[in-house]
Amino acid sequence: MTDSGERVVIGMDPHKRSVTIEVMAADEQVLGGGRFGTDVAGFKAMLEYASRWSDRVWAIEGCNGIGRHVAMRLLAAGEQVIDVPPKLSARARVYSTGQGRKTDATDAHCVALVGTRMAGLRPVVNDEQLAVLRLLVDRRSSLGEDHTRMISQLHQLLLELIPGGAKKSLSAAQAKALLATVRPRDVAGKTRRRVAAELVADLERVYARRKAADKELKELVAATGTSLLDLHGIGPSSAARLLVEVGDITRFPNRDHFASWNGTAPIDASSGDNVRHRLSRAGNRQINRVLHIMATVQLRNDTEGRAYYDRRRPEGKTSMEATRALKRRLSNIVYRTMLDDAVRASTAAEVTGPGGQRGSDSDSSATGSQPQHRLFGQATPGPVTTQPSAPVPRVS
């Protein structure tokens, strides 16, 4: 097969030990494909096969999930990679022939279709700082889950050891004090007390690790220069999660797109003259949780968020509806804060020279870059150009 010189999209359905690819031209003609292993030999064979097309871009499904390992290896090999969200490839599969059957070859074909048709797909970049943040914030989240699980087990054991059990908010020191008052005589009771004591010891280790993780996260987040820590209700873990999940904030044309992505924007369910909205269960649930925690913290203190909540209640909003409205407002604030940070970083890069902006050396989509963004506006209409990436909007 000879190289025609036109750009092709190599759609990939990734797995742990194998990947399935399909090569597609701009007119959606299938040029090739195959299945390759992810070991050294299989990866080398895949690169040799793809070298038939000099102008190529890899469209990989789930680059923040199962596709991340192969996406990072391709970036290290000097390849261009774009991330295809699983929802987009699933929609392409539903509307394709074959009655929505799901196979590796079909998935690769749908990923290639999305990479060929869609503009504005996010380019994957190897940012070591964000990679470190992702590892640490995932570890911090895991420690929090371990703490919740151990506390639940302790409550169950203490309920069988002490009439009425322990209070809802229980710490390791409080549990240790309660256990000191218990002297069971039967074998089952002694075993319960011993297991509870082991859980308390495990909890103390989790506390120490969580404290160290919070300290390290705070230092790394501060080193990024972000202003998210200045927002009431955003701690080091929440700021790190925002930086990791959002990546380049300029990929969202406006704050409404950002709210739709994080699930704080309600879904329009109007029909005729009946105008109504319903709660969105979609979106990035981790970021939605960050915004929920931020709203909860603001409601517990005398803040602007609390004042906004109190103004919405007399308007007929229920407590839940007012909280959702507050989360939507906080989403706008987070968007503006991250956008301002991106503007400052872009300005500093212009002063210090090229290379200061993350992702400036990658195409934003397979067939061309995404339209230029405007602050709180829609994407600029007109034909798509082939500029490397969208410039960061300037704040007026």
Q: May I ask the CATH class of domain 8-117? A: alpha beta
Q: What is the structure's pLDDT at 349?
A: 73
Contact indicator for 306, 330 with CB cutoff of 8 Å: no
Compute the radius of gyration of the chain from its Cα atoms. Answer: 25
Angstrom distance (rounded) from CA 47 to CA 58: 11
Contact indicator for 356, 348 with CB cutoff of 8 Å: yes
Contact indicator for 178, 203 with CB cutoff of 8 Å: no
Angstrom distance (rounded) from CA 93 to CA 152: 42
Q: What is the structure's pLDDT at 188?
A: 93
Q: Which amino acid is located at 52 in the chain?
A: R
Q: What is the structure's pLDDT at 286?
A: 92
* Residue ranges in the chain whose pLDDT is less than 50: 1, 355-365, 367-396
Q: What share of the chain is helix, strand, coil (3-state, %, to 5)?
A: 55, 10, 35
Residue 376 DSSP label: T
Q: pTM for the whole thing?
A: 0.72
Sketch the domain layout of the chain as residue ranges: 8-117, 128-223, 236-352
The pair of structure tokens assigned to 110 is 């749908």
Q: Could you report the per-residue pLDDT of 67-105, keeping only the tens digit for each?
A: 999 999 999 999 999 999 888 888 887 776 655 577 888
Q: What is the structure's pLDDT at 79?
A: 93
φ, ψ for residue 357, nearest 5 deg: -100, 130
Q: What is the structure's pLDDT at 234?
A: 93
